[in-house]
Structure 1
Amino acid sequence: MKLTKYLAAAAVSAAFVVAPVSAATMGMADLAITGLIILNSNNAPVTNGIVIQNENRTGTANSNFNNAQGTGAGLGNIFSTTIGGTVDVKNRCAGPSCGAGMPVGNYPGGVENNFTAHLPAPSGNYALGDMYIAGTALGVTGANGLTRADSSVMSPGNAGSANATIANSATAVTTFSVGTTLQAKFALGFNAYVAAFVNAINGVSGSSLGTISWTLSLQEVIGNVSTTIMNWSPAEINDGVTSSDISQNSIKESSGTILSNLVTLTGGRTYKLTINQASNSIASEVRAVPEPGSMVLIGLGLLALGAASRRKAAK
């Protein structure tokens, strides 16, 4: 079952009513995989007959505000070869709103590994990246993972961007010891949120972006030959929004469980599963643009300076 909500233009303006009446931009890209598990053709979890030979996963989280890199507890890139091992890059925050409870205080439940909270409006000057993955899609309890990339700008002359990636997050070489052919599919629980907002008032302009992506590839390996038997990229979690004007402001939010197509897995053969997940956001520089009246004044000022210079040269 899938729940999808899409807000655009006027509806988004209403959704952002809590935003201050000032220039601001925001890009949000939050993707939480709440459960990924392999099922048989009867929609029952496959709990035996699969031997995981190895598993490799890499997680990264980064942020940038006015070219200053975000900081956090520990490293921004973590690699693991432990089967079902947890990779948890602590949130990386950049910008003046990172300290003293900001932006942590704006996220219900806090920022770190928050699978559900999404900010509805710009709330400071910062960029935030966070990621987490644990479990395995081939295990009894499945896998879950998070990539969060949020950027918010509320004053002129600033720019923020963030990204978070799970690379080869559930790469597993598996051997099936089943005696008969197995018809299998994947069940994916998710919570996805992307938003782009620009409040271009008083001669201020900017742009914003929020994108998420998730792909699953399954290969059958016979000797030295690997053949792809499934590529799965659900539209619900391969999406994005952009805005450079209030008429383009939009929010896309969806959650639920989706199923892949069935695939045939032959007993005794080896399979390689690769999953990649990423979030990216940008809240671009909010820059003041001279109003037409200001441009006229500037022009008159330049003309006056020019006339004064000519008079001085004529003396």
Structure 2
Amino acid sequence: MARDFYSVLGVSRDAGQDDIQQAFRRLARRYHPDINKDPAAEERFKELNEAYSVLSDPGTRRRYDRFGEDFRQVPEDYEERVAAGAGARGGARGRPGGAGVRTGFGGGFEGVDIDDLLGGIFGRGAGRGGTWGAVPGADQEAELPLGVEEAYRGGRRSVTLTGPEGERTYGVDVPRGVIDGQRIRLAGEGGRGSGDAPSGDLYLRVRIRPDSRYRLEGRDIHVAVPVTPWEAALGATVPVRTPGGTVKLNLPAGSSSGRRLRLRGEGMPNPRGRDGDLYAEVRIMVPPEPGERERELFEELAAVSTFNPRETG
């Protein structure tokens, strides 16, 4: 059963429009998906939007108060239309959270199109601020695949989607530093409304493609840094490729494979807060086919070194 819209916003049933607006703004700031990363926050935000869209419109609110969750199926002038045009001996009744709309029709319906009169029950309804038979378009969602570097840079992209009406191409402004699962809203580009009702919105959900060079954890980027044995033993400054360009890593002496070094703020950008970090993981690489002099030096090192990485304790 759908939740009561007044409970969703935390207001009483006799709350004024100012109280409803203030409650929505307070909760929307708390649960907006760009601010609250809890997976449940997005659904909570949708619920708040739906409740506010109903209760902020006086006409829609009156229908909701009278018919409960069935309010979308019944026109506001339902009883007047039945009494004036059909000679009905009954009317619609409903209650918040009720099971449906009951009709008490008697005879005398010659020339009255009941399907037209109760169009909402058969899949048609009145959109807010529209005429009877006008239904707002549905919101739609599609995936937007991006590479790590594309997501890092952002920018204008052309996106072509295939739907029931064929292919459509959109110009999309991808925010810099978008992350996997983040949604980009294209207002009015969703399902078309009927009559004079508005179209829905199109939401593009970002999917970051796997990349052999980078691994993402939220806004943090993990990257492997290959180094030579002597760089690892003696320390060095080594270049590290990142989605934003090449940076310099100060490799401490005595760094073994698997050691992670953090470069603060070198991860995915965050327009609304702190940028992510870059974690460089050391990987010691040896020459696959050492030359004659290299082999001599390795053999000399093996003869004089007392280091044994397999010793424990």
TM over 0.5: no
Q: The TM-score by the shorter chain falls in which range?
A: under 0.3
Higher-RCO chain (CA-CA 8 Å, sequence separation at least 6): 1
Q: TM-score, normalised by structure 1?
A: 0.26
Identify the structure with the greater strand proportion.
Answer: 1
Quick check: which has more Rg, 1 or 2? 2
Identify the structure with the greater helix proportion.
Answer: 2
Q: TM-score, normalised by structure 2?
A: 0.26
